[in-house]
Amino acid sequence: MKIVVHELTKTFREKTALENISLEVSPGSIFGLVGPNGAGKTTLIKIIMGLLLPTRGFVSIDGRLVHQDHRLKARIGYLADYQRYYPGFKVEDMFRLYRESYETWSPERFQELCRVFDLPENAKVKNLSKGMRTQLAIILNLAFRPALLVLDEPTAGLDPVLRRQFLTILMDEVAENGTTVFISTHNLHELERICDHLAILHQGRLLGLESLEDLKQKVRKIQAAFANPLPAGVLQRDGILNVEQSGRVYSITVQDGLDELTAELRTFKPLFLDLADISLEEIFIHRMGGEGYAIKQILAP
């Protein structure tokens, strides 16, 4: 399913939660959304789900408005940041409810997921821990084989083993069924592992939108050692995000002008000089000096 967000603005009284947001999510892709608390991520997700109406602009899914089409909603899975199921229901009651509500419910897929997430079916929802509620939500939303899966902090409460299993399941879902995934999370390591494209929200505005591969090609790290210290000024230029020095060894994070800087460094006859990949988290931290979400300059076209 294709998501189109067009010039979307959402205000609550005098507060603007989202301002003129436009983006597209291709069918069968995993699209990541990041930003600090209060950036507007959950508001955007609720509009995509049809739970909130935009003040201006629109969101369409496969060319249709989700809040006007219940048949469209039947093909969308949603893992909220907190699972608000009927507290008096047992786990088995929730399974039965979803099985009877979705025509696409797959008994085979349900059994596969139950083997991964071993939930006590007789336990009441109100007695489940946060992690167990998340496991319940995963089973319920994947067992009916959604065409679109919208996730808001989906691994909250899961231990590292289950987080890894869930991400593997998610990638298999995309590869085998062409499911489109829209995921919001603070966990940059997870996004780096699974995402095709990434969008950054900050104070309700879209600061950047780019493929993860292109982003990581823009920012690289040079590691080099020299017999003598480099002259002052060599590493004081636009495009250098961070410099760390330990004795004769330099670690230089570069956003622009990589080839030019490398060529200049070679004129100082380095003892060694290598290029290293850099993690998504390092890109954010180096660019913003610890405020790793407002990364307009990195993601600018």
Ordered by start, the domain boundaries in the chain are 3-214, 216-299
Whether residue 210 contacts residue 195, with contact meaning beta carbons closer than 8 Å, is answered with: no
Q: How far apart are CA 140 and CA 147, in angstroms?
A: 14
Q: How far apart are CA 267 and CA 84, in angstroms?
A: 62
Residue 56: its pLDDT value, please?
A: 94
Residue 9: its pLDDT value, please?
A: 95
Q: How far apart are CA 110 and CA 99, in angstroms?
A: 9
Is residue 295 classed exposed, middle or buried when 0-12, 13-18 and 19+ CB atoms within 10 A define those classes? buried
Q: How far apart are CA 116 and CA 162, in angstroms?
A: 8
**Considering the entire predicted model, what is its pTM?**
0.81
* 252's tokens: 């230089």
Q: How far apart are CA 240 and CA 130, in angstroms?
A: 42
Only one residue has tokens 């939303």, namely 141
Sequential pLDDT tens for the chain (301 residues) = 999 999 999 999 889 999 999 999 999 999 999 887 888 999 999 999 999 999 999 999 999 988 888 888 889 999 988 778 888 999 999 999 999 999 999 999 999 998 888 888 899 999 999 889 999 999 999 999 999 999 998 888 888 898 899 999 999 999 989 999 999 988 888 888 899 898 888 888 987 787 888 877 778 899 999 998 888 888 888 888 888 899 889 999 888 888 899 999 999 999 999 998 788 777 766 654 544 434 444 444 4
Residue 73: its pLDDT value, please?
A: 87
Whether residue 66 contacts residue 3, with contact meaning beta carbons closer than 8 Å, is answered with: no
**How many CB atoms are closer than 10 A to CB 251?**
14
Q: How far apart are CA 50 and CA 44, in angstroms?
A: 10
Residue type, 199: A
Whether residue 174 contacts residue 182, with contact meaning beta carbons closer than 8 Å, is answered with: no
Report the CATH architecture of 216-299: 2-Layer Sandwich (3.30)
Is residue 111 classed exposed, middle or buried when 0-12, 13-18 and 19+ CB atoms within 10 A define those classes? exposed
Which CATH number describes the domain made up of 3-214? Answer: 3.40.50.300
